[in-house]
Amino acid sequence: MAGTESLLFTTLGAHSDPDNSEMELDCQFNEEFKFILLPVTYAVVFLLGLGLNTLTIWLFLFRLRPWDATATYMFHLALSDTLYVLSLPTLVYYYTARNHWPFGTGLCKFIRFLFYWNLYCSILFLTCISVHRYLGICHPLRALRWGCPRLAGLLCLAVWLVVAGCLVPNLFFVTTSPKGDTVLCHDTTRLKSPLCFVESEPFNKTVITVEHIHMRKRLRKLPFNLTLLQAQYSSYIQAYKAEMPMLMDTFEIWLV
C-alpha cells in the first residue's frame, strides 16, 4: 500500500505552522500515467471512430433513405461522434508533449468546446434512441404520435442547441497559461450549468436502466396476450429485437 501511494503522490516538503503543532505535508498528484494512457486511447478512438462513423454517415445519406425516427437519431449520433473524434488529434499531441499547447488560445477554446459538445450530444442521442424504443414497446400508440421523423429531427436540433448553450461558459473560462517551458490548455473554473446535469452520464445511465427494466417487464407479459395484440405490437417487437444488442452493448460500456 505504501508503495502504491508513493507512485501516486509526490511529497514536496514538510513544514510546521507556528500556531499549530501538527506537521503539514504538501502533496502533488503524480500524473505521469496520463501522458501514456490518454494519447494511446485518443489515437485508437480517432482511427476507429473516424472511419466507422464516416462510413455510417455516408450510408445514411446515400443508401438508407427515407429515415424513420430511429434512423434520424442514429444519423445525428454518428455526426456527433465524428465531430468528437476530430477534436482528438490535437489532444493526442498535447498529452504526448506533456501538457504543452502550441496552437494558441483560440484553438484551445474551440477544441475543448468541440470535445465536450459532441461528447454530451452523443450521450443524449443514445438516450433518445433508448426512449424511442421504450415508447415503441411500452406505449406503442404514443410512439405512433410522437415517434415521427419530423419530431425526431426537431428534438435532435434541440439537443445540439441546448448542449451548446450549456457549454458557452467554456469559451470564456478555458484558456492557456504558461507553466515553465510549457503552455497549458485548461479550464479555469469548476462551475457548471445546472442544465448540464441532464447531459451527465449518470443521469442518462439511470434513464436507460429504468427504461430497460420496464421494457423487460412488458415483453415478459406479451406472450400471454400475443394473439390479441400481435398486429399492434409485431413491428415494434421486431425493431426492438434488431436494435437491442446495440443498446445493450452501449449500456455495458457505460457501466464499465
Distance, CA of 48 to CA of 45 (rounded, Å):
5
Distance, CA of 100 to CA of 20 (rounded, Å):
39
pLDDT tens, per residue, the chain with 256 residues? 444 444 443 434 444 444 554 444 455 666 788 889 999 999 999 999 999 999 999 999 998 888 888 899 999 999 999 999 999 999 999 999 999 999 999 999 999 999 989 988 998 898 888 888 878 777 777 777 777 889 999 999 999 999 998 888 888 889 999 988 899 998 876 655 555 555 555 666 666 666 666 666 666 665 544 454 454 455 454 444 444 444 444 444 444 3
Q: pTM of the prediction? A: 0.72
Q: Give the pairing type, strands 174-179 and 23-29.
A: unpaired
Distance, CA of 165 to CA of 17 (rounded, Å):
46
Top CATH class of 32-184 equals mainly alpha
